[in-house]
């Protein structure tokens, strides 16, 4: 099966599972829907992902994503120079998805029980993609921690306010080099952000 055929197959499975979503049942009148990935499947390439798709009143994904399109969302624009510096890659050269395929405008509207539905779908996606490494934007939820072997926390100090900044590493699903860095909306200094990206990148590069 090629990447595009797999995408449509997983899309159908996600539609079935989405009907069981507690978030959907909690907000039945909202048009939040779901999506699989934002870039085409590129087997063996790195995987970049967040918690879940945001957005309100967005129809469900129905078309395989093209490689070249305007991806100018704020967090993508802010992340691009870091991917270029630490992974020598543009986001379009990576597999870009989310841990949960179900949308919600924010995580306060997301029902925690949906992780039990979401993680098997995400694992099926990861198993097919076979990424050489993975990087999450934001802190991993506790439900994911059980699927990260050798889970380790890394700390740097944000000098502007002496607050600690955290990154996380391990092996996703016991096999794939994994790192997590703060979301672009986190209020930390540029220096601290570079330092934590460097720590996480070093772990990933040594593990590949």
Contact predicate 50/110, CB 8 Å: no
Please state at what angle helix 190-207 crosses helix 74-87, rounded to 10 degrees.
50
- Going by their DSSP bridges, the two strands 148-158 and 95-100 should be labelled as unpaired
pLDDT at 208: 81
**SS3 label, residue 152:** strand
pLDDT at 55: 86
**Domain ranges across the chain:** 1-79+88-132, 138-208
Judged on CB neighbours under 10 Å (0-12, 13-18, 19+), 47 is buried
Q: What is the pLDDT of residues 138-151, one digit of tens each?
A: 999 999 999 999 99
Per-residue pLDDT of the chain (208 residues; tens, 9 = 90+): 999 999 999 999 999 999 999 999 999 999 999 999 999 999 999 999 999 999 888 999 999 999 888 888 888 899 999 999 999 999 999 999 999 999 999 999 999 999 999 999 999 999 999 999 999 999 999 999 999 999 999 999 988 788 999 999 999 999 999 999 999 989 899 999 999 999 999 999 999 8
Q: What is the pLDDT of residues 6-16, one digit of tens each?
A: 999 999 999 99
């Amino acid at each position: 099966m090629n990447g595009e055929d797999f995408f449509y197959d997983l899309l159908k499975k996600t539609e079935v599972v989405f009907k069981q979503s507690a978030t959907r049942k909690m907000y039945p009148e909202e048009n939040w829907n779901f999506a699989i990935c934002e870039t085409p499947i590129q087997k063996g390439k790195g995987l970049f992902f967040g918690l879940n798709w945001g957005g309100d009143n967005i129809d469900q994904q129905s078309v395989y994503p093209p490689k070249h399109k305007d991806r100018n969302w704020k967090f993508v624009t802010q992340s691009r120079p870091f991917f270029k510096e630490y992974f020598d890659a543009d986001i379009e050269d990576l597999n870009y998805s989310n841990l949960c395929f179900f949308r919600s405008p924010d995580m306060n509207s997301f029902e925690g029980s949906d992780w039990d539905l979401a993680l098997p779908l995400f694992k099926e996606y990861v198993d097919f993609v076979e990424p050489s490494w993975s990087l999450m934007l934001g802190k991993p939820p506790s439900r994911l921690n059980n699927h990260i072997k050798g889970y380790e926390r890394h700390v740097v100090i944000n000098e502007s306010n002496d607050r600690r900044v955290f990154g996380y590493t391990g092996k996703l699903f016991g096999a794939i080099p994994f790192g997590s860095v703060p979301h672009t909306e986190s209020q930390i200094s540029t220096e601290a952000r570079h330092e934590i990206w460097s720590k996480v990148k070093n772990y990933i590069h040594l593990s590949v």
